[in-house]
């Protein structure tokens, strides 16, 4: 063979090898690109899933905050209503207390008037019946002395019984 044809053949072989190498490199590059694309797609899917989870968590958190605010608002409303009711009850009790005090003052004044009248009447009776009063007083003193004597006798008898009971033990 001819040297240029040998060179040509060598060049064609080399070209074939280079084409085959280029094809292999292309396949390898496409495989790498495909795997990179798969990895990118997978990561994008993960990012999307994480974003959705984050949004779901934020929505749940916001809902919990709203519920807590609603609950707090409702509790504040109940407490305000209870305060108003207690304030009204306190005012009513104060009014009732004032009425009771006023009524007690009126009744006390009426009683004072009645007592003064009774005192005047009793003083008049006492002045008119001082003799009978003295006799009643003497009778009361005598009855008290007799009762005192009787009680002294009962105490002595009980003491003797007690001592007799303690002595026999």
Q: What is the pLDDT of residues 50-61, one digit of tens each?
A: 999 999 999 999
In a shared domain, residues 7 and 87? yes
Predicted pLDDT of residue 3: 67
Q: Tokens for 112, please give them.
A: 């004072």
Find the domain containing 145 and state its range: 132-163
**What is the mean pLDDT of the segment spanning 128-148?**
87
Last residue of a domain, one of 64, 93, 122: 93
pLDDT in tens, 61-114: 999 999 999 989 999 999 999 999 999 999 999 999 999 999 999 999 999 999
Residues 8, 82 within the same domain: yes
Domain assignment present for 49: yes
Give the C-alpha separation, 64 to 62, whole Å. 5
Global pTM value: 0.38
In a domain, 102, yes or no: no
Total domains, the chain = 2
Q: Are residues 86 and 9 in the same domain?
A: yes
Give a yes or no: residue 111 inside a domain.
Answer: no
Average pLDDT of the chain, as a whole number? 89
Tokens for 90?
């306190």
95 and 102 Cβ atoms separated by less than 8 Å: no
Lowest mean pLDDT across 35-39, 76-80, 115-119, 154-158 = 35-39
């Amino acid at each position: 063979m001819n040297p240029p044809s040998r060179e040509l053949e060598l060049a064609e072989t080399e070209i074939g090898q280079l084409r085959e190498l280029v094809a292999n490199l292309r396949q390898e590059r496409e495989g790498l690109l495909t795997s990179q694309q798969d990895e990118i797609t997978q990561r994008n899917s993960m990012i999307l899933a994480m974003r959705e989870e984050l949004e779901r968590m934020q929505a749940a958190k916001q809902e919990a905050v709203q519920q807590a605010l609603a609950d707090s608002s409702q509790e504040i409303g109940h407490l305000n209503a209870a305060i108003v009711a207690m304030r009204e009850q306190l005012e009513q009790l104060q009014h009732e207390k004032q009425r009771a005090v006023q009524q007690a003052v009126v009744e006390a004044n009426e009683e004072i008037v009645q007592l003064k009248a009774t005192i005047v009447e009793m003083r008049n009776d006492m002045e008119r019946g001082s003799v009978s009063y003295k006799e009643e007083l003497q009778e009361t003193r005598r009855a008290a002395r007799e009762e005192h004597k009787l009680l002294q006798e009962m105490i002595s008898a009980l003491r003797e019984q007690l001592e007799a009971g303690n002595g026999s033990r």
